[in-house]
Structure 1
């Protein structure tokens, strides 16, 4: 993933990543023509009771923008509780699962709208 450009925050002077404004939707199709660029995914591990939805959506959006997309459709979130430590390799990446953790996966289809 490419590094995020930053802009100063006007409130406290700290830097925050710029986010691209792209369409993010759970629907599987749109009422206008589009071109499918590929699948995007994000995996985060955290403690039970916490769903880092905004971080997952940011990762999906950043991957889609890197592909040249202006939207992600068909977004699905899946959570799995892992009671013991393990290692898994979804999509060819190794993810460490710690004792009593929850693994949340987000998948979506990167698209470019046709004009």
Structure 2
């Protein structure tokens, strides 16, 4: 197995549920952090959900009003994703939330 540390930035331009990361085929991902920055003058309601594609189910893992001009981490412990699992974020104010996901992708050579 090959391990690759990565990051992916996001800028939420809509209030719709938005995919910010999908675990690639033949990989497992360990999400270390989801840094969320509110660049607005007021609090913004933020929700993070994970779609477990093997179970055909979605789970809300974070729900918080992020205060004005602050940053928060959307995960408090490592979050393990399997191939095809999806991280989505929804906010109640567009164009004010941005952030970075830091993760480790582990390539499963046996599944390739």
Larger Rg: 1
Tell me which protein shows more helix as a share of its residues: 1
- Return the structure number with greater relative CO, CA threshold 8 A, min gap 6: 2
Tell me which protein shows more strand as a share of its residues: 2
- Give the TM interval when normalised to the shorter protein: 0.3 to 0.5
TM superposition score normalised by structure 1 = 0.33
